[in-house]
Structure 1
Amino acid sequence: MAAADSILIFVLSLLVGTIGILAGARLVLDRDASFVNAAVTALIGAAAWGITSFFVGWIPILGVVLMLVIWVGVINWRYPGGWGSAAAIGFVAWIVAVGILYALAAVGFVTPDALGIPGI
């Protein structure tokens, strides 16, 4: 049962992250952003966050800042517009993910600690 739970959490997290990044890209870039590109960005971003967390996450303040910079860097790499646009996409993605997870937690589908965007 633990494997099934892990798979469900992974899929739900990827979906929430994808929707957040897709919303951010569409709002900030004012153009069509594809679901597939957002999903790949969410997947790469989560992997980069996890790897960075493993190596520097234990360093107070600096570790979290580096993890966030790496995550925004992935968005910057995957979408046009530079670091400012990438940071804005990341911020919108975070807000959207918080809203989705709050709604899912309110109806009892997930616990509030579900992940999809780093730091949620």
Structure 2
Amino acid sequence: MAVPFVGSIVAFLVALLVGGLAIYISARVVADVDDYSHAVITALLGAIAWALTSWIPLIGLVIALIAWVWVIKWRYPGGWVDAAIIGAVAWVS
């Protein structure tokens, strides 16, 4: 019974580290911030924001995207445009 749970935890951690790496790379280019741990925490907070909002019918995905970009905006210097660029580059990565 514990094996699927452990697999889920490992998959979550790998996704978190990869997502953090993508945010790190894009934030380093766009915002000149060189801190991988900051990017991983941003990825975690963004995932929480996404999970809390994406379930809303009809507009949930739009709200989730705005919430995710807002987390990036909150955690990095710059405005909405810089946060959207960081998010877009991270997503493409």
- The answer to whether the 8 A contact 2:25-2:90 is kept is yes
Residue 77 (structure 1) aligned to one of 70, 74, 79: 74
- What is the CA distance between 1:65 and its match in structure 2? 1.1
Normalised TM-score (structure 1): 0.72
Cross-structure match for 2:4: 2
- The answer to whether the 8 A contact 2:53-2:61 is kept is no
Q: Which runs of 4+ in 1 moved over 6 A?
A: none
Structure 2 unaligned blocks of 5 or more: none
- What is the CA distance between 1:63 and its match in structure 2? 1.8
> How far apart, CA to CA, are the structure 2 residues paired with 1:85 and 1:18?
17
- The answer to whether the 8 A contact 2:20-2:36 is kept is yes
* Deviation string, structure 1 residues 47-83 (Cα, Å, up to 9, x no partner): 01001123x1x31xx2211110000000000001110
Aligned-pair identity (%): 46
> How far apart, CA to CA, are the structure 2 residues paired with 1:42 and 1:6?
17
- What is the CA distance between 1:38 and its match in structure 2? 0.2
Residue 65 (structure 1) aligned to one of 62, 75, 78: 62
Normalised TM-score (structure 2): 0.92
By relative contact order (CA 8 Å, sep 6+), the higher-ranking structure is 1
> How far apart, CA to CA, are the structure 1 residues paired with 2:28 and 2:72?
13
**Cα-Cα RMSD:** 1.0
Cross-structure match for 1:27: 29
> How far apart, CA to CA, are the structure 2 residues paired with 1:76 and 1:24?
13
Matches within 5 A, 1:69-108: 69-96=66-93
> How far apart, CA to CA, are the structure 2 residues paired with 1:47 and 1:63?
14
Q: How many residues align?
A: 91
Aligned CA distance change for structure 1 residues 32 and 78 (closer, same or farther; 3 Å)? closer
* Deviation string, structure 1 residues 17-69 (Cα, Å, up to 9, x no partner): 1001001101112x232011101100000001001123x1x31xx22111100
